[in-house]
Amino acid sequence: MDLGLRGKRALLLAASKGLGRAAAEALAAEGVKLVISSSNAERCDEAARSIAQAHGTNALPITADMFVPASMDRLFAEAVDALGGIDILFLNHPGPALGLAKEVDVEVLEQQFRMMVASPIRLISRALPGMRERRWGRILSVGGSGMVTPLPNKVMDDTLRPAIAGYSKALANEVAADGITVNIVLSGTFITDRVHASTASNAALCGTSVEEAMRRRIENIPAGRFGELKEFGAVVAFLCSDCASYVNGSVIRVDGGQIRSVF
């Protein structure tokens, strides 16, 4: 299937590893020109270089800190200078701070808000005018199951991810007629650094071993396994494509059936 993505230009946040890098690899394989962003300059450079070599496309690194929303202006300006414009905006961020709702630290909440809500919306506001002018654009955010059902020990996910879900749906309704789709890809459990960190934290909270906590996580997935990063990337590429032009304002689960609710 030709996804119609060759020559498109994408800016991907938190894309030097994990789910973000999987998205970058999948888009690069379709001939998309990329700007890879990360707060870690060394990792960002390595990811861009490796992806460019593997897929024969442009992949340029730009370091930016999502905890500083104003830095998104510089990131977007440099990305446009590098690529000539942005057709696809992939919004991801490092794993939010773990913790319990009854013990929430408001200062940490404000910091996480900047990373998880303010910076993505600021970037979207920069990307929209060009997308509307060209009458084509894809805005895709990475979500988590805390958007659907609150998770233990993940108060930041439970509190802030639903904000992006509501904003994305409202925006999709406003710009759908301009040829722009705004969706969320809701990831289940993939083997990433975040999974190892949250599993260790959960184990300490419950007084069990990390091995036992990991076993319980797998048992709660109907597919009986963790997801492979290429499976996540494939869904991202499809949602960014012409083939998915009628998928808008949606939350698409890639979770092996892990979320038990219908909606």
Instruction: Give the start-to-end residue ranges of the domains of the chain.
Output: 9-188+228-254, 191-226
pLDDT for position 196 = 65
* C-alpha to C-alpha distance for 214 and 3, rounded to whole angstroms: 36
Q: What's the topology of domain 9-188+228-254?
A: Rossmann fold (3.40.50)
pTM, full prediction = 0.92
pLDDT for position 263 = 80
pLDDT for position 44 = 97
SS3 for 18? Answer: helix
* Chunked mean pLDDT (size 10), the chain, 263 residues: 93 96 98 97 97 96 96 97 98 93 96 97 98 98 90 92 96 98 94 71 76 81 92 98 97 93 83
- Residue 213, C-beta contacts closer than 8 angstroms, at least 6 positions apart: 199, 200, 202, 203, 206
pLDDT for position 115 = 97
- DSSP string spanning 24-42? HHHHHHTT-EEEEEES-HH
* C-alpha to C-alpha distance for 104 and 248, rounded to whole angstroms: 34
* C-alpha to C-alpha distance for 182 and 161, rounded to whole angstroms: 15
* C-alpha to C-alpha distance for 259 and 112, rounded to whole angstroms: 24
pLDDT for position 145 = 87
Classify residue 246 by its DSSP letter: T
pLDDT for position 247 = 98
